Amino acid sequence: MKVKKYVDLSWEVSDESPIYPGDPEPHITYGTHTLEKDGYNLSGVYTGTQTGTHVDAPYHFSNEGDTIDKMELDFFFGPAVVVRVTDKKAEEEITMEDLTSVKDRIGPGTIVLFNTNWYQKRGTEEFYSHPYVSGKVATWLVEQGVRFIGIDTMNADSSTKGVFPVHDLFSEKRLMIGENWANLDKIDFDDGLWVAAFPLKIKGVDGSPVRAVAMQIEA
């Protein structure tokens, strides 16, 4: 296969990375070792498993769920469909009607990406009052054989309602959620769209930062 185009769907990780309220605050220690002092450059990185562009393993919402190191690699690479819902307002649900134009392209193994453009509100208070995926949409996607969804908000569920139907369902069914993605609006192609978002192999944890990338693949 030939890759015609790449689109980076990831935020950089820094001390300023937005976090879900109460999560560990990321911190980068630059120059723990330097070329001048030690003969090489090295830095320290402290980050929560859910910081920046990341994926959630089933263990995130269930003590019985598999941790990120136990999830097969084929979850994280596959053909994708973008659901464009950039007209959504704060705290507004993404509904089945929003899937009308793409339903015939969603099937087993499809990675479904929700493009709200909310990532552009990073650094504002409104960032935390984002649109979210409805439970009905999540249920329908699972019924179609979808194993992985991604969204350019900090949470696939509402961050203010205190209920998490998407996370509960995907955890129960041993499926994956990607959150805090970016640049989904930069994907200007539908044909040949594939996505890769491989996690770090961190033992026994609920998720991992990823470098999420969209690719236009020519077979």
In the chain (219 residues long), the average pLDDT of successive 10-residue segments reads 95 93 95 97 97 97 98 98 98 98 97 98 95 98 98 97 97 98 97 97 98 94
Closest Cα to residue 207, out of 80, 81, 20? 20
Structural domains in the chain, CATH included, are 2-11+49-218 (3.50.30.50)
> What are the tokens at 97?
């009607």
* Dist. CA 166–CA 81, nearest whole Å: 18
Inter-residue contact 195 to 214 (CB < 8 Å): yes
The pLDDT value recorded for residue 219 is 72
> What are the tokens at 173?
């069914």
Q: Count Cβ atoms below 10 Å from residue 109 Cβ, excluding itself.
A: 15
* Dist. CA 218–CA 213, nearest whole Å: 16
Percent of the chain that is helix, strand, coil (3-state, to 5): 20, 30, 50
* Dist. CA 103–CA 91, nearest whole Å: 24
The pLDDT value recorded for residue 147 is 98
* Dist. CA 89–CA 126, nearest whole Å: 10
* Dist. CA 11–CA 22, nearest whole Å: 20
Q: Decide: helix, strand or coil at residue 156.
A: coil
Paired with 178 in beta bridges are 55, 150
3 sits in which H/E element: strand 2-8
Q: Decide: helix, strand or coil at residue 51.
A: coil
The pLDDT value recorded for residue 1 is 78
The pLDDT value recorded for residue 135 is 98
Inter-residue contact 98 to 113 (CB < 8 Å): no
